[in-house]
Structures are given as C-alpha cells and as structure tokens.
Amino acid sequence: MKSKAKNFIRQRQMRGETVRALVECIAHGIDTKRKIMAETGFSWGSVATITTELLENGVIVEYENGNDRRTSHYRLTRNEYYALGADISE
C-alpha cells in the first residue's frame, strides 16, 4: 500500500515539474510544440496534452505568426497573475 501511495505522489511531482518546464519554455519565447520538444526532450504526446490543458485553463493563449500559419504558436496569458518562488537558503 505504501508503495502505491509513493508512486502516486512521485507521478504527481513529475507532472508538476513537466508543466513547470513547459510554462518556462513558453515564458522564454519557445513558442511551438516542436521547439518545446527539442528544448525539453518531452514526447509529442506530453507536450500536446499539457499544452491543451494550459490553453483550457487560460494559462497560455494561441496566437498567429504571420510567417508560419500552419504551426500553432503560444504565449503566456498577459492578464493572469503568476507567482515566482526562490530558494534563498545556503
């Protein structure tokens, strides 16, 4: 039973880390799924699933790039509030 709970917790932590990494990519201008995959090493399925969830929850928005109309481009939603944490311990 403990093992199952630990696995569940670890999976949730990994998912949180994956979401955070994807949001950080978008925040730094890595704006397409293919570029995110190249930067993070995540699978297409992971990037597509998390991108969809972020869109549905209003964290990111899709925008049109005049140079590349076939590819979806993403940016953070400008009217949302974000928190930044820092570890300042030695």
Query: What's the pLDDT tens digit per position in 12-21?
Result: 777 888 888 9
pLDDT of residue 64: 82
Looking at residue 71, its pLDDT comes to 85
**How confident is the model over 28-70, as pLDDT tens digits?**
999 899 999 999 999 999 999 999 989 988 889 998 877 767 7
Q: What is the pLDDT of residues 68-89, one digit of tens each?
A: 677 889 999 876 555 566 667 6
Helix boundaries (H) for 1-90: 2-27, 33-40, 44-56
CA distances from 54 to 7, 50, 87 (A): 24, 6, 26
pTM: 0.72
